[in-house]
A and B are shown apart, each in its own frame.
Chain A
Amino acid sequence: MNGTERNERWQGTLRLSLAAVILLVVFSFFFLTLVEAPDAGGYPLGLVVAASGLPLAGVLLVFWFAGRQERTDRRHGVYED
Chain B
Amino acid sequence: MGGILEEARRLGRLYGLLTTAFVLFVLVVAMLSQFGLPEPVTTFLVVLVTVVTYAVMGLGSRTLSLSGFFLADRFVPAGLNGMAAAATILVFPLVGLAGAFLADRLLGLAVVAGLVAGFVLLTITIAPYYRKSGAVTLPDYLAVRYGNPLVRLAAVVVIAAALFPVLVAALRIAADVAIATLHFSPRVAAISVLAVVLLTSLLGGLRGTTRSGGAQLVVALVAVLVPTVILSLQDYGFPLPQVTFGYAVEEAAAETAAIVVTPGNALPLAGLDGFNMLALALTLALGIAAFPQVVTRCGATVGVGDARRTAGWGLVSIGILAATAPALAAFVRLAVLRDAVGVELADLPEWIFDYGRMGLVDVCGTAPVSPAAIGTACGAATVVNGLAPTDIALSADLVTLGFADITGLPYILTALIATGAIAAALAAAAAALVTTANVLGNDVLARIFARRASGGRRLILARLALVALAALAAVVAYGGSDRAHAWAMAAPAITGAGLFPALVLGVFWKRTTSWGAFAAIVAGGGTTIAYVLLVLGDVIAPVPVAGLSAGLSPAASGIAGALLGLAVAVLVSLLGPAPGASRRAVVDAIRRPSPDPILEDHAT
A interface with B by C-beta (< 8 Å): 6, 10, 13-14, 17, 20-21, 24, 28, 31-32, 35-36, 39, 41-45, 47-48, 50-52, 54-59, 61-63, 65-67, 69-70, 73, 77-81
Contact = CB atoms under 8 A, between A and B. Distances in A.
Nearest to B125: A17
Given A31-B113, A58-B116, A63 B246 contact: no
A51 B253 contact: no
21 contacts: A21-B121, A28-B116, A36-B106, A39-B253, A42-B249, A47-B246, A47-B326, A48-B245, A48-B246, A50-B109, A51-B109, A52-B323, A54-B319, A55-B315, A58-B116, A59-B312, A65-B124, A70-B305, A79-B593, A79-B594, A80-B305
B322 A54 contact: yes
A20 B322 CA distance: 22
B304 interface: yes
Contacts, number: 135
Contacts of B243: 48
B106 A35 contact: yes
Q: From B243, B308, B595, name the one whose CB has the most chain A CB atoms within 10 angstroms.
A: B308
Interface in B227-274: 242-243, 245-247, 249-250, 253
Given A59-B312, A66-B309, A67-B1, A73 B120 contact: no
A51 B112 CA distance: 8
B117 interface: yes
Nearest to A46: B105
B342 to A, nearest CB: 20
Contacts of A56: 319
B318 interface: yes
A50 B4 CA distance: 26
B183 interface: no
Nearest to B323: A52
A80 B594 contact: yes
Nearest to A17: B124
B383 interface: no
A62 B311 contact: yes
B309 A55 contact: no
B113 A54 contact: yes
Contact of A43 (B116, B246, B588): B246
B250 A55 contact: no
A66 B1 CA distance: 10
Contact of A59 (B250, B315, B325, B588): B315
Given A42-B250, A51-B325, A78-B593, 7 more contacts: A6-B592, A20-B124, A24-B117, A31-B113, A43-B250, A58-B116, A58-B119
B68 to A, nearest CB: 22
A66 B105 contact: no
A64 to B, nearest CB: 9
A62 B593 contact: no
Contact of A73 (B106, B245, B593): B593
Interface residues of B, number: 50
Contacts of A35: 105-106, 109
B588 A6 contact: yes
A59 B109 contact: no
Contacts of A66: 123, 305, 308-309, 312
A54 B106 contact: no
Contact of A58 (B304, B319, B593, B595): B319
Contact of B124 (A21, A43, A48, A54): A21
Enumerate the 6 nearest inter-chain pairs by beta-carbon distance, A residue then B residue, closest first: A55-B319, A62-B312, A58-B116, A42-B250, A66-B308, A52-B323
A48 B245 CA distance: 8
Interface in B104-154: 105-106, 108-110, 112-113, 116-117, 119-121, 123-125, 128
Contacts of B253: 39, 42
Contact of B246 (A44, A62, A73): A44
Interface string B583-604: 0000010011111000000000
A51 B326 contact: yes
A49 B325 CA distance: 13
Contact of B315 (A20, A52, A58, A67): A58
B319 to A, nearest CB: 3
B339 to A, nearest CB: 21
Nearest to A59: B315
A53 to B, nearest CB: 9
A45 B305 contact: no
A62 B119 contact: yes
Contacts of B113: 28, 31-32, 54
Interface in B14-31: none
B120 A58 contact: yes
Given A6-B588, A20-B120, A24-B120, A44 B308 contact: no
Contact of B249 (A24, A32, A47, A69): A47
Contacts of B247: 43
A65 B593 CA distance: 15
